[in-house]
Amino acid sequence: MHLHLFPPPPPLHLMPFLLTAALAFAAGILLMRRGVPRAIAEFGGRLSQRWAFWRRSCDRACRDGRRACFESRGSGGLGNSAFDDYRRATLRRLEDEAVEFRKFLYGLKRAADAGEFDAFLKSRREGGPQAS
């Protein structure tokens, strides 16, 4: 009986596949140790920050007249300046209404909280459950 300490090598045509699989496995382990979901979220956060900065700077340049508007070059604007002005004014009005609505909701929440707090104080004064 003949004993082999090591198995016979795989056929040569499988070597690139096996090498790629081993490298992918090692990379996967390294990425899992670092935390792939966290890394993806960090990358997405940086990407969205850069996009927001670029968009703000483009909007600023459009308002100042230094550059033709991004919208009129095919990314949402139709090239009709009257319609683009109307759309911009409508969006601005909607944003203002959204701010007013958020303020209104904040006032409602504050009033509800004040009512709950007043009821709590009233129950404490009337000898309700004591806090420990």
pLDDT at 118 over 70: yes
The pLDDT tens digits for 39-51 are 666 666 676 777 7
Global pTM exceeds 0.85: no
| Residue 81: pLDDT band with limits 50, 70, 90 | confident
Distance CA 49, CA 57 (A): 12
Q: What phi and psi, each to the nearest 5 degrees, are found at residue 24? A: -65, -40
Buried/exposed code over 40-72 (b: 16+ C-beta within 10 A; e: otherwise): eeeeeeeeeeeeeeeeeeeeeebeeeeeebbbe
d(CA 42, CA 61): 29
Tell which wins on pLDDT, 83 or 41. Answer: 83
CA–chain centroid gap for 94, Å, is 22
Sign of CA dihedral 101, 103, 106, 112: negative
pLDDT at 72: 47
For residues 57 and 65, what is the distance between their CA atoms, to the nearest angstrom?
12
Residue 129: partners with Cβ closer than 8 Å, 6 or more residues away: 123
**Tokens at 8, concatenated:** 């016979």
